[in-house]
């Protein structure tokens, strides 16, 4: 089996569960629609310059989707998103940035306090 087919099968298994686990070692789960997974993948593609490629596993994607699923506003926005002609809206860009910050917190790349400060600054609160 080719690597590409294996990756697609692994992604399908993740998406088809309808949930996201914080990481493979945890039993913590949150509901995650296929659209939420798509949003997570889109965020990773948008920020790919920050990633050290190739990624060894799907843990970063899990963390991104976990961050999205942890924020009810982003989960709702992802579930009601429709494909658009043209580029992303300002709201979508903000949601992407907030999702990346939340993922960085989950992965331990930044502290929760730093992440909250960054999110507040993005939203004009600091």
Contact between 33 and 16 (Cβ < 8 Å): no
Question: What pLDDT digit, counting tens, does each position of 10-66 carry?
Answer: 988 989 999 998 776 778 888 988 889 988 988 888 888 888 888 888 888 998 999
pLDDT digits (tens, 9 = 90+) for 91-109: 777 888 888 888 888 888 8
Do residues 106 and 67 touch, judged by C-beta distance below 8 A? yes
pLDDT bucket at 126, cuts 50 / 70 / 90: very low
Nearest-5° Cα angle at 21, 3 to 118 = 100
Segment 58-91, tens digit of pLDDT? 888 998 999 898 886 766 666 555 555 566 777 7
């Amino acid at each position: 089996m080719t690597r590409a087919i294996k990756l697609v099968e692994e992604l399908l298994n993740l998406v088809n569960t309808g949930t996201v686990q914080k990481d493979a070692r945890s039993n913590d789960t949150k509901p995650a629609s296929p659209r939420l997974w798509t949003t997570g993948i889109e965020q990773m593609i948008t920020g790919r310059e920050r990633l050290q490629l190739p990624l060894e596993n799907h843990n970063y994607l899990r963390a991104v989707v976990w961050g999205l699923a942890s924020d009810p506003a982003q989960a709702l926005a992802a579930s009601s998103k429709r494909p658009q002609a043209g580029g992303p809206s300002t709201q979508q860009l903000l949601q992407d940035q907030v999702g990346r910050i939340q993922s960085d917190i989950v992965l331990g790349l930044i502290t929760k306090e730093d992440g909250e400060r960054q999110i507040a600054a993005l939203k004009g609160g600091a």
